[in-house]
């Protein structure tokens, strides 16, 4: 098994774990954690393809990973603020009980 394959398999497992968690956990915070894990799996792919790809001197993979980290940070901040606002409104973070759009 060459190293790129190893990194891609790790990334695939990370993505699958995040997806399973985001689909099956009931706390909205843990759903967000699952989404973060999936984003990180994508970042690992970017860096691994940069490392073993044909043109590493172009730095595209690294740049994409850096911008992706910045976007993920913004997403986490807004997502957690939303969760706090929802908690203040309906007093729960259980996604099974958050089933109405209009308070």
First to last CA, the chain: 54
Q: Which of 50, 46, 38 is nearest to 13 (CA)?
A: 38
- Residue 21 or 102 with smaller CB distance to another protein: 21
Residue 13 to residue 45: CA distance in whole angstroms: 12
For Cα atoms 42, 45, 51, give the angle at the middle one, nearest 5 degrees: 150
Question: Could you tell me the smallest distance in angstroms from the CB atom of residue 3 to another protein?
Answer: 6
The reply on whether position 35 binds another protein by CB under 8 A is no
Question: Could you tell me the smallest distance in angstroms from the CB atom of residue 31 to another protein?
Answer: 10
Question: Could you tell me the smallest distance in angstroms from the CB atom of residue 27 to another protein?
Answer: 5
The reply on whether position 90 binds another protein by CB under 8 A is no
Residue 69 to residue 74: CA distance in whole angstroms: 9
Region 63-82 residues binding another protein, contact defined as CB under 8 A = 63, 65-67, 69-78, 80-82
The reply on whether position 4 binds another protein by CB under 8 A is yes
């Amino acid at each position: 098994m060459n190293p790129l394959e190893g990194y891609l398999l790790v990334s695939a497992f990370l993505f699958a774990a995040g997806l399973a968690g985001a689909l099956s956990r009931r706390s909205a915070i843990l759903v967000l954690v699952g989404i973060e894990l999936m984003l990180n799996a994508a970042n690992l792919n970017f860096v691994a393809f940069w490392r073993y790809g044909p043109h590493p001197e172009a730095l595209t993979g690294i740049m994409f990973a850096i911008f992706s980290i910045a976007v993920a940070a913004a997403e986490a901040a807004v997502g957690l603020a939303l969760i706090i606002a929802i908690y203040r409104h309906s007093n729960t973070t259980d996604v099974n009980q958050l089933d109405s759009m209009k308070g």
